[in-house]
A = this chain, B = another copy of it.
Amino acid sequence: MKVRVHVMLKDGVLDPQGEAVKHALGTLGFAGVQGVRQGKVIELDLAATDRAAAEAEVKAMCEKLLANTVIEKYTVELMGETA
């Protein structure tokens, strides 16, 4: 089972990395970039085949390791066997 996790800073939290990318895009001549937020994407390949069990396991991984839930939010996307 392939699972994709997105970890982004929460909306109110300052994102200096995103601001740096926004500034760099402006410098390169890309106008009209109103906002940039940068986060992490983690693709996991799990032995589990049950969707509900896999989702619960990945959420536990996020809470314990993958995301800092004080300042970050995460979303779990099950991609199935073929992705």
Chain A residues at the B interface, C-beta cutoff of 8 Å = 6, 8, 18, 21, 24-25, 28, 30-48, 57, 60-61, 64-66
- Contact partner, A46, options B34, B48, B66, Cβ 8 Å: B34
Chain B neighbourhood of A41, CB < 8 A = 6, 8, 38-41
Chain B neighbourhood of A57, CB < 8 A = 30
The docked-state distance in angstroms from the alpha carbon of A60 to that of B8 is 24
Chain B neighbourhood of A40, CB < 8 A = 38-41
18 more CB-based (< 8 A) A-B contacts, given A33-B46, A34-B45, A36-B44: A6-B41, A8-B43, A21-B42, A21-B65, A25-B65, A28-B61, A28-B65, A30-B57, A31-B47, A32-B48, A33-B47, A34-B46, A35-B44, A35-B45, A37-B43, A39-B40, A39-B42, A40-B41
